[in-house]
């Protein structure tokens, strides 16, 4: 192990292994206030702190959540928030045996000099913010940047995405947080699965090149890739077996076995599609724990079932647990629908 991860090296390895434990994955509930506002608007609720708190309380208090979920990614507001009953959300998660995590990036902005592409902000002040998040109980971090296939991707955009992820990963490790490395290759576009595969190979090659150059300890990171699928507007659809074949081929070619866990994003797939694809990927042995870090594919039905009404909280929690359990089975390759 490199010395750069410093005094936290052993703890990072342990945290990553805990999150990547059999039959468990991550609940992504780190929607920024703007994105959370869109979700709340879809059920006719105003984007107030009280409504965000009510929804996040519902999510973290699902009875038995920790049987299927090993980590929860929080937005900064939630890391410092209490449940509606006044308990620290971080404490509720720890009692549930769910590791608290924190989204640390500051979002996407236009990348000057590119083909209308984006880059991800947030490196300024990241070391001190990360130290404060650790103090508050976070043990892992997430940084999401995106790569667009229809807009390129340009060599510039890929390089910037990879470099930003690598700097963030090094800073996280020095402050005790396991970095989730997430270069999301957006689903948008009419391209076929071969084109996604080609772009993903390029992106992951650069990401690992810069992770190594920044002395990131691979045993103490987690990845959050997009599955290799056709573009959302492509007429040729892929079966779960095809998605698994392409995605596993990508992982085998690009991801060192030292990395403990691959936690896929759902990226706009339906709940069942995301579960079926994960299940297909777990039909053969891999060097890594292959699991989920879903937001929409865990929350969609839950949010609709809740609808902002206190009397629906229990029913909504049950729907979240159904999705979490289905994905837990998929992590074990045992989901049958």
Stretch that binds ligand 13P, among 241-249, 263-271, 276-284, 318-326 (CB under 6 A): 263-271
Q: Is 296 an interacting residue with respect to ligand 13P (CB under 6 A)?
A: yes
Residue choice 210, 218, 294, 335 for contact with ligand 13P (CB under 6 A): 294
Q: At what angle do helices 240-254 and 193-213 cross, to 10 degrees?
A: 30
**Known catalytic residue at 103:** no
**Is 14 exposed, middle or buried (CB count within 10 Å of its CB: 0-12, 13-18, 19+)?**
middle
Catalytic residue among 31, 76, 182, 206: 182
Site for ligand 13P, residues 141 to 170, rule: CB under 6 A = 144
Segment contacting ligand 13P by CB under 6 A, of 16-24, 197-205, 261-269, 323-331: 261-269
Instruction: Indicate whether 89 belongs to the interface with ligand 13P (CB under 6 A).
Output: no
What's the sign of the alpha-carbon dihedral 243, 244, 246, 251? Answer: positive
* Count of residues touching ligand 13P (by CB under 6 A): 10
Alpha-helical (H) ranges within the chain are 9-19, 33-41, 49-60, 76-79, 89-95, 126-135, 155-174, 193-213, 240-254, 271-281, 296-306, 313-331
How far is CA 302 from its chain centroid? Answer: 18
**Residue 60 C-beta: closest distance to ligand 13P, Å:** 16
**Contact pick of 265, 303, 321, 324 for ligand 13P (by CB under 6 A):** 265
81 or 266: whose CB is closer to ligand 13P? 266
**Contacts to ligand 13P from residues 117-146, by CB under 6 A:** 144
Measured distance CA(260)–CA(19) in Å, rounded: 9
| CB of 1 vs ligand 13P, minimal distance in Å | 28
3-state secondary structure of 18: helix
Ramachandran angles phi, psi of 283, nearest 5°: -85, -15
- Annotated active-site residue 117? The verdict is no
Q: 8 or 145: whose CB is closer to ligand 13P?
A: 145
Q: What's the closest the beta carbon of residue 58 comes to ligand 13P, in angstroms? A: 17
Residue 29 contacts ligand 13P per CB under 6 A: no
* 266 belongs to the binding site for ligand 13P (CB under 6 A): yes
Task: Supply the minimum distance, in Å, between the C-beta of residue 186 and ligand 13P.
Answer: 10
Residue among 111, 181, 295, 329 that touches ligand 13P (CB under 6 A): 295
Determine the Cα–Cα distance for residues 257 and 261; give it in Å rounded to an integer: 9
Q: Which stretch binds ligand 13P (CB under 6 A): 34-42, 191-199, 247-255, 291-299?
A: 291-299
Q: Give whole-number Cα distances, 190 to 5, 193, 249, in Å.
A: 41, 10, 22
Query: Can you tell me the distance from the alpha carbon of 324 to that of 278, in angstroms, rounded to the nearest whole number?
Result: 12
Which one of 15-23, 247-255, 290-298, 309-317 is the stretch in contact with ligand 13P (CB under 6 A)?
290-298
Pick one of 126, 267, 278, 326: the residue that binds ligand 13P (CB under 6 A): 267
Q: Residue 39 interacts with ligand 13P (CB under 6 A)?
A: no
Residue closest to 328 by CA, chosen among 301, 288, 299, 298: 298
Q: How far is the CB of 9 from ligand 13P (least distance, A)?
A: 26
Length of the chain: 337
Neighbours of 155 (CB within 10 A): 11
**Helices H, strands E: what count in the chain?**
12, 10
Catalytic-labelled residue, pool 117, 160, 224, 271: 224
User: Residues with catalytic annotation?
Assistant: 182, 224
Residues that bind ligand 13P (CB under 6 A): 28, 144, 182, 265-267, 294-297
């Amino acid at each position: 192990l490199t010395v750069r991860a410093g005094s936290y090296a052993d703890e990072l390895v342990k945290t990553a292994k805990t999150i990547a434990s059999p039959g468990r994955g991550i609940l992504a509930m780190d929607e920024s206030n703007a994105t959370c506002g869109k979700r709340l608007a879809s059920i006719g609720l105003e984007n107030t702190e009280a409504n965000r708190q009510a929804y996040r309380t519902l999510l973290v208090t699902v009875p038995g959540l920790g049987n299927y979920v090993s980590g929860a990614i929080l937005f900064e507001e939630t890391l410092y928030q209490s449940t509606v009953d006044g308990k620290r959300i971080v404490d509720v998660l720890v009692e549930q045996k769910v590791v608290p995590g924190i989204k640390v990036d500051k979002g996407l902005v236009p990348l000057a000099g590119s083909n209308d592409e984006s880059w991800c902000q947030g490196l300024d002040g990241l070391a001190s913010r990360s130290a404060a998040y650790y103090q508050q109980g976070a043990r892992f971090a997430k940084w999401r940047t995106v790569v667009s296939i229809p807009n390129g991707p340009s060599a510039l955009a890929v390089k910037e995405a990879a470099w930003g992820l690598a700097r963030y990963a090094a800073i996280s490790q020095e402050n005790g947080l396991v970095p989730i490395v997430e270069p999301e290759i957006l689903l948008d576009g009419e391209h076929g699965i071969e084109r996604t595969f080609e772009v993903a190979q390029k992106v992951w090659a650069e990401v690992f090149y810069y992770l190594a150059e920044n002395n990131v300890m691979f045993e103490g990171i987690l990845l959050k890739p997009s599955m290799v699928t056709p573009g959302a507007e492509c007429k040729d659809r892929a079966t779960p077996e095809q998605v698994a074949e392409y995605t596993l081929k990508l992982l085998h070619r690009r991801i060192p076995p030292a990395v403990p866990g691959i936690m896929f994003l759902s990226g706009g797939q339906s709940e069942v599609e995301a579960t079926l694809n994960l299940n297909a990927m777990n039909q053969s042995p891999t060097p890594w724990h292959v699991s989920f870090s879903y937001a929409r594919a865990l929350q969609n039905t839950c949010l609709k079932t809740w609808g902002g009404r206190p009397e629906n909280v229990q029913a909504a929690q049950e729907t979240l647990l159904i999705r979490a359990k289905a994905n837990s089975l998929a992590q074990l390759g045992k989901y049958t629908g």
